[in-house]
Structure 1
Amino acid sequence: MSRVLVWQWGRRGAGPRFALNLAEAIDSLPGLDVVLSLSARAEILAGDKKVPVRMLPMETYGSLPGLLMRLLQAPVLVPHIMRAVRARRPDFAICAMTGPLDLLMAVALRCSGVPYAVVVHDAVMHPGDGFPLQFMLQRLLLWRADVMVVLSRHVAAQLRQQRVLRGREIVMSSHPPFDYFSGGAGAVVLSAGRVAGPVRFLMFGRLLTYKGLDLLAAALAMMPAGLAFECRIVGHGPESAALRALAGLPHVRVENRWVPESEIPALIAWADVMLLPYREASQSGVGAIALSAGRWVVSTNVGGLREQFQDRSRALLCEPTAVAFCARLVELAERQPLLPEVPADPGEGGWSAVAARMVADIEKALVGRAAMAI
């Protein structure tokens, strides 16, 4: 029986959800046991939510001053983490998504003789994304990692242009559908069919420049007069000219706010079509949620999005122009009735299959590194 430690110490957003789904999938595989380490402040643990895997919660931080304090406490925290790791005796660890405190875990793992892999979601910083030290800390973490896992060939190519590989191979994986709807922890049952009325478009996530807010505003402004549709732009981001332009369009509602984890399933269930008008992207967790719910996806053909959606029957790709994006929206708005389908078994693209391949490839890479060290 091999034991895997999965950790992700973010408080909210996609990181804890990705870690939970990955840990559940690993734990379901024969011959594997898992320990999941999340922030004790993680939104996904709020209330009475039950996590069906062995847990190792860590007290992290709730603000920037709190983060700085935790970093200053590293001489005390690292021995504490080491004791916790050694008590669980993992064979190797996986960082599910990087964060500011990961170097503390990396040091504790190294001192405990536990190798670790890092799932690299983004190799370079998107405009307006994160905080200035985020990618410097990620590169330090990758420099010390035993294995790197990527979810798209696009990110793999970006990593190869950096100096972090140092001769190590990259483990290729993919982004499974986020498990809000198929029976995992906190899953929601989707209703059959849809409410009659205009097609419902949704753009959801962080409202940042690289997400193509200006492209979407221009595309929606081109929609034919009299075409029935509703569009919601929901997420958190700085006020911008593009958001103001979107808010001024007919049939469009902008909701600039943080969306709690508990509201996401209902928000996705409202939509017929998820909009990804991105100007650049590694891959899309929002798109993964939409696919898991049987919703349509309209995406620009940039970065790793082509890999993620090109073989999906309910995903439409287009060039990153307002004219091309508008044409896809019109195509779907005129396709009535536009019924969401019951999500199919994701098969080789589901969490269990992806986790099995990922663990096997990590173990193979670790054996190779051990052989080279002899």
Structure 2
Amino acid sequence: MINVLAFSLGRLGGCVVYATNIINNFSQPHTAIVSRYCNENVPCAAVQVPTFRSMISFVFSTLFYLPMLTLWLLPSLLRHRVYYFPYYHPWNPWFIACGKLLGKASVVTVHDAVFHPGEGTAIEQWLMDASVKWAAKIIVLSMPVEVQLRQRIDSKLKIHVIPHGLIVPDGLICKPRQWQAKPNIAFLGRVNAYKGVQLLVDAVAGLDDSEFDQLLIAGRHSVDIDYSGIPDQKKQIIDRWLEDGEIAAFANQCHILALPYIEASQSGVATIAIAANIPVIATRVGALPDQLKGGAIYCDATVDGVRAALCELIHSDLRYQECVSALINEQMELSWAQIAAQVEFVLCN
């Protein structure tokens, strides 16, 4: 038996959901340190601590509060044998360094080897790289991230590839989808420059009105998107953070889920598609083909490529049902219990 101290210090987003699902399925004794300001579900029996909610509070909390928090957590830091960091947080390197001083091993999960354009600063990239260099072992969610880490940091890193488990928001309908002659097409998640939402919008604008019912774009926008090419009655645009129930409701409405990413490592939204048996159109970037396998139609990150992939699902009942069948097969390997067991094996050996 080995005691694990898990740090989930983020406030919201898919990485926090990932961490909670992993930690809740641990069989080994463990303690979870989580942010008091977390807006997602937190692990069972978690210890909630103040973190920060803005850049100003980050500077103050890091300089003055973090050392005091460390002293308060010292009994836990001493009692546990392994520290686990399921995603990047600016405070991770501090606790990894504390662990090294105390003779404790740290295991870090890296979702992206490099921040996506517009997402992270040079300082944050340095902090993430430091977490990787100082950790005893690294977990990545896909082979492309492993390759990037070995090329960027050290070819001798101890890296384990463990895929992302299925995200199943409350209320998500998980029965096989049926082909529709006029489908609802959806993009779910943050609208960032690298996610190619403008490609999707322009591709859908080139479809005939008879080929789709509605385009749904739901998620907080960090870039401006030109939606003028699609009539108001054929689009639904939601520009804000989504609650779990909303994500489920939007996913339940759609017949085709779009991942037109310009670049990506992997996608948490892809796991929702797998769980809900929603056929996907996806670009050939990162680990998306490894995640979705036969559950998607793949295309180049161009307007014509995205439109052609959409048309393949819109006009072929057979192709649509082939994707549904492939997604059902994928579900068997991605339960959180199995994923957590693989993570525990890395932590304990």
TM-score, normalised to structure 1, is 0.82
Distance 1:273 1:200 in 2: 6
Whether 2:7 is the aligned partner of 1:7: answer yes
Matched residue, 1:329: 310
Correspondences of 1:67-82 after superposition (within 5 Å): 67-73=58-64, 74-82=66-74
Deviation at 1:112, TM superposition (A): 3.4
Matched residue, 1:210: 194
**Contact between 1:179 and 1:289, CA under 8 Å: does it hold in 2?**
yes
Residues 167-221 of structure 1: CA deviation (Å, up to 9, x unaligned)? 33211111121132xxxxxx33528677988311111112111111232133112
Deviation at 1:352, TM superposition (A): 1.7
Identity of aligned residues (%): 26
Matched residue, 1:173: 162
Matched residue, 1:228: 212
Secondary structure of 2:72's partner? helix
C-alpha distance 264-197 of structure 1, shift in aligned 2 (>3 A): same
Distance 2:5 2:228 in 1: 45
Query: Out of 330, 337, 348, which is 1:352 matched to?
Result: 337
Deviation at 1:21, TM superposition (A): 0.6
Distance 1:166 1:326 in 2: 39
Secondary structure of 1:290's partner? helix
Query: Out of 231, 237, 251, which is 2:221 matched to?
Result: 237
Whether 2:64 is the aligned partner of 1:83: answer no
Deviation at 1:120, TM superposition (A): 0.4
Which deviates more from structure 2 when the two are superposed, residues 230-239 or residues 275-284? 230-239
Deviation at 1:13, TM superposition (A): 0.5
Deviation at 1:345, TM superposition (A): 8.1
Deviation at 1:44, TM superposition (A): 1.5
Distance 2:103 2:288 in 1: 37
Distance 2:109 2:86 in 1: 5
Residues 56-104 of structure 1: CA deviation (Å, up to 9, x unaligned)? 2221112111111111123322222323333xx3231221111122223
Matched residue, 2:18: 18
**Contact between 2:142 and 2:161, CA under 8 Å: does it hold in 1?**
yes
Distance 2:29 2:47 in 1: 14
Distance 1:229 1:329 in 2: 13
Matched residue, 2:270: 287
**Contact between 1:39 and 1:60, CA under 8 Å: does it hold in 2?**
yes
Secondary structure of 2:217's partner? strand
Residues 263-307 of structure 1: CA deviation (Å, up to 9, x unaligned)? 222222222221100111000011112211222221101112122
Query: Could you say what the CA RMSD is over the residues aligned between the two structures, in angstroms?
Result: 2.6
Distance 2:67 2:195 in 1: 39
Distance 1:299 1:172 in 2: 22
Query: Out of 197, 217, 236, which is 1:253 matched to?
Result: 236
Deviation at 1:34, TM superposition (A): 2.8
Secondary structure of 2:40's partner? helix
Distance 2:181 2:55 in 1: 45
Matched residue, 1:370: none
Secondary structure of 2:117's partner? coil
**Contact between 1:148 and 1:171, CA under 8 Å: does it hold in 2?**
yes
TM-score, normalised to structure 2, is 0.88
**Contact between 1:81 and 1:108, CA under 8 Å: does it hold in 2?**
no
Matched residue, 1:48: none
Which deviates more from structure 2 when the two are superposed, residues 139-148 or residues 323-332? 323-332
Whether 2:309 is the aligned partner of 1:319: answer no
C-alpha distance 352-331 of structure 1, shift in aligned 2 (>3 A): same
**Contact between 2:22 and 2:340, CA under 8 Å: does it hold in 1?**
yes
Distance 2:157 2:223 in 1: 42
Distance 1:223 1:24 in 2: 44
**Contact between 1:16 and 1:38, CA under 8 Å: does it hold in 2?**
no
Q: How many residues align?
A: 341
Whether 2:94 is the aligned partner of 1:104: answer yes
Secondary structure of 1:253's partner? strand
Distance 1:130 1:249 in 2: 32
Distance 2:348 2:146 in 1: 19
